[in-house]
Amino acid sequence: MRHFPEPFRIKTVEPIKVTTREYREAAIREAGYNTFLLKSEDVFIDLLTDSGTSAMSDAQWAALQLGDEAYAGSRNFYDLEKAIQDIFGYRYVVPTHQGRAAEHIMSKLLIKAGDWVPGNMYFTTTRLHQELAGGNFVDVIIDEAHDPTNAHPFKGNVDLAKLQKLVDRVGPDKIPYISYETCVNMAGGQPISMANLRELREFCDHHGIKIMLDNTRTVENAYFIQKREQGYADKSIKEIVREICAYTDGCTCSAKKDGLVNMGGFLAMNDEDFFVEAKAQVVIYEGLHTYGGMSGRDMAALAQGIREAVATDDYIKYRVEQTNYLGELLTAGEVPHVIPHGGHAIFLDARRFLRHIEQEQFPAQSLAAAIFVETGVRAMERGNVSAGRDPKTGENRRPALELVRLTIPRRVYTQSHMDYTAEGIINLYQKREQLRGLRFVFEPKQLRFFQARFEPIAGD
Ligand code: F0G
């Protein structure tokens, strides 16, 4: 089958605006060449992120009507808690308004100043919270993950030799946990294998180090394990998700992705003392421990979303295969992008797309802006701008991966939107020499990619 069809039909539609190139040129100029600063209504197909952009099901919309908006003890919290316990298997649940709030609380409680936190590549908010808590992030992902042309099937895996080196250097007591992400976002949505996680569990048991899962895209990761890892073809997505979580001590989760909701998150764990402390923190920063920043109806929609994502294997197959479909079109058009194709997004390789723009002139930022002008499709920079500056030296981090992410919202766009997107990007690739680099006109100190403004560097 060339394309696995959407396992749903459309009941409500939202019109989107078709614009001219002149209109889009003015819009991107006004936005300082930063796609985060565009107005959503000026965007034709929004592939900025898969975060909070899902279409909810009729059952989720129905669940919204059953919100119990009590300040304390909402029945929707108890149902959400049960859904998380049933699907992910953790004992204790602390709700938060989104993922970074869970990261904040976890980092504050588990990291002491001077600690080291290894992880399978960084995520922007995750690393920032580790650093704000006084920790130092260390990347221990396998080398293949930094090479966009390497076809390793599990590029999210941890390199245990790198982890061993860190343990030898700083000692296990200085490592409170390893931050382990499923379908590693910054690597291109690349999965971890169960074999890697099993080995990591053994290693961490030996050294007394916790494994804290970034559970944001575990369902997508489970699909790759089912498809690619020996021994998992006959296991359900639900069983695989449960097994992944069982090897870990707890998780943070941005429920705005796999959870199929527009807002929500949680922290979950098996350790009771950690739970008691996390509950004490959540009331300071988020809200009472039975809502944590979500309304009752948000929690109702999330409980339904968590169950729906794994109820059958069809949803996730459609979801990941739709992403792959876009990737295959770009492959056919010879547009350089990260392989294998990730779960939530296709990542264009801006280094190879724009060989004539050097990294200090932000090729990925420039490419994202040009894609918008060419097509009305909004993408996101994931390169030098996102990586930020080294807090010690103040220099740009110059990451190996200089990417533009075309992120597919869940259940929102159809195959023809993918066809249109690919066609526009292939056209742009053919005239890539015309693109120019950018320079900052405003650079925020932290998470600069969200609000930075740029201007084009004039050509010769
Ligand atoms: N962890 C991962 C792997 C993420 O992708 C995100 C968010 C977070 C944590 C933070 O969660 O946004 O709910 O606070 N990723 C979004 C993205 C923003 O576009 O990739 P949050």
Marked catalytic residue, from 127, 382, 405, 411: 382
pLDDT of 41-50, one tens digit each?
999 999 999 9
pTM summary value: 0.96
Counting ligand 1 atoms within 8 A of each CB, the residue from 36, 46, 184, 254 with the most, and so the one to mutate, is 254
CATH of the domain at 434: 3.90.1150.10
Model confidence at 292: pLDDT above 70: yes
Concerning whether 12 is annotated as a catalytic residue, the answer is no
Nearest atom (ligand 1) to Cα of 52: 13
**297 CA from centroid of ligand 1 (Å):** 22
Boundary of a domain, candidates 277, 311, 345: 311
Cα–Cα dist 133/66, whole Å: 38
Closest C-alpha residue for ligand 1 atom 9 = 99
Report the first-to-last Cα separation within the chain, whole angstroms.
Answer: 49
- Is the same domain home to 160 and 42? no
Model confidence at 381: pLDDT above 80: yes
Q: Is residue 2 part of a domain?
A: no
| Rg (alpha carbons) of the chain, rounded to whole number | 21
Q: Is residue 4 part of a domain?
A: no
Q: Is residue 15 part of a domain?
A: no
Counting ligand 1 atoms within 8 A of each CB, the residue from 141, 257, 346, 403 with the most, and so the one to mutate, is 257
Boundary of a domain, candidates 248, 276, 311: 311
CATH of the domain at 202: 3.40.640.10
Model confidence at 74: pLDDT above 80: yes
Ligand 1 binding pocket, CB closer than 6 Å? 49, 51, 98-100, 123, 125-126, 181, 185, 214, 216, 254, 256, 265
Closest C-alpha residue for ligand 1 atom 11 = 99
Counting ligand 1 atoms within 8 A of each CB, the residue from 50, 122, 125, 179 with the most, and so the one to mutate, is 125
**219 CA from centroid of ligand 1 (Å):** 15
- Is the same domain home to 328 and 248? no
Model confidence at 3: pLDDT above 90: no
Nearest atom (ligand 1) to Cα of 344: 20
Model confidence at 198: pLDDT above 60: yes
Boundary of a domain, candidates 279, 311, 343: 311
pLDDT of 298-328, one tens digit each?
999 999 999 999 999 999 999 999 999 999 9
- Is the same domain home to 215 and 252? yes
Q: Is residue 358 part of a domain?
A: yes
**413 CA from centroid of ligand 1 (Å):** 21
Going by pLDDT thresholds of 50, 70 and 90, the confidence category of residue 180 is very high
Q: Is residue 156 part of a domain?
A: yes
Cα–Cα dist 349/338, whole Å: 6
Residue 257: per-residue pLDDT:
98
Q: Is residue 6 part of a domain?
A: no
Marked catalytic residue, from 33, 123, 154, 232: 123
- Is the same domain home to 175 and 265? yes
- Is the same domain home to 87 and 191? yes
Marked catalytic residue, from 8, 21, 58, 71: 71
- Is the same domain home to 240 and 345? no
State the average pLDDT for the chain: 97
Model confidence at 169: pLDDT above 80: yes
Please state the domain count of the chain. Answer: 2
pLDDT of 80-116, one tens digit each?
999 999 999 999 999 999 999 999 999 999 999 999 9
Cα–Cα dist 245/251, whole Å: 8
Model confidence at 460: pLDDT above 80: no
- Is the same domain home to 145 and 267? yes
User: Largest Cα–Cα distance in the chain?
Assistant: 65
State mean pLDDT over 378-391: 94
pLDDT of 405-456, one tens digit each?
999 999 999 999 999 999 999 999 999 999 999 999 999 999 999 999 999 9
Concerning whether 35 is annotated as a catalytic residue, the answer is no
- Is the same domain home to 226 and 325? no
Concerning whether 112 is annotated as a catalytic residue, the answer is no
Closest C-alpha residue for ligand 1 atom 12 = 99
Model confidence at 1: pLDDT above 80: no
State mean pLDDT over 326-333: 98
Going by pLDDT thresholds of 50, 70 and 90, the confidence category of residue 391 is confident
Model confidence at 338: pLDDT above 60: yes
Is the torsion defined by CA of 71, 72, 78, 80 positive or negative? positive
**50 CA from centroid of ligand 1 (Å):** 9
- Is the same domain home to 296 and 387? no
- Is the same domain home to 342 and 398? yes
Q: Which of 400, 450, 371, 411 is nearest to 186 (CA)?
A: 400
- Is the same domain home to 198 and 286? yes
Q: Is residue 1 part of a domain?
A: no
**271 CA from centroid of ligand 1 (Å):** 24
Model confidence at 139: pLDDT above 60: yes
**412 CA from centroid of ligand 1 (Å):** 19
Nearest atom (ligand 1) to Cα of 100: 14
* Domain containing residue 396: 21-50+314-456
Contact 436, 459 (CB under 8 A): yes
- Is the same domain home to 74 and 174? yes
Marked catalytic residue, from 257, 279, 297, 378: 257
Contact 149, 191 (CB under 8 A): no
Concerning whether 71 is annotated as a catalytic residue, the answer is yes
Concerning whether 382 is annotated as a catalytic residue, the answer is yes
Marked catalytic residue, from 35, 96, 124, 421: 124
Q: pLDDT exceeding 70 applies to what percent of the chain?
A: 100
Closest C-alpha residue for ligand 1 atom 21 = 99
**151 CA from centroid of ligand 1 (Å):** 25
Closest C-alpha residue for ligand 1 atom 16 = 51
Residue 459: per-residue pLDDT:
72
**254 CA from centroid of ligand 1 (Å):** 6
CB-CB neighbours of 31 under 10 Å = 18
Model confidence at 458: pLDDT above 90: no
Q: Is residue 12 part of a domain?
A: no
Tokens 């979580």 appear where? Answer: 245
Cα 321 to Cα 187, 335, 417, distances in angstroms:
18, 19, 14
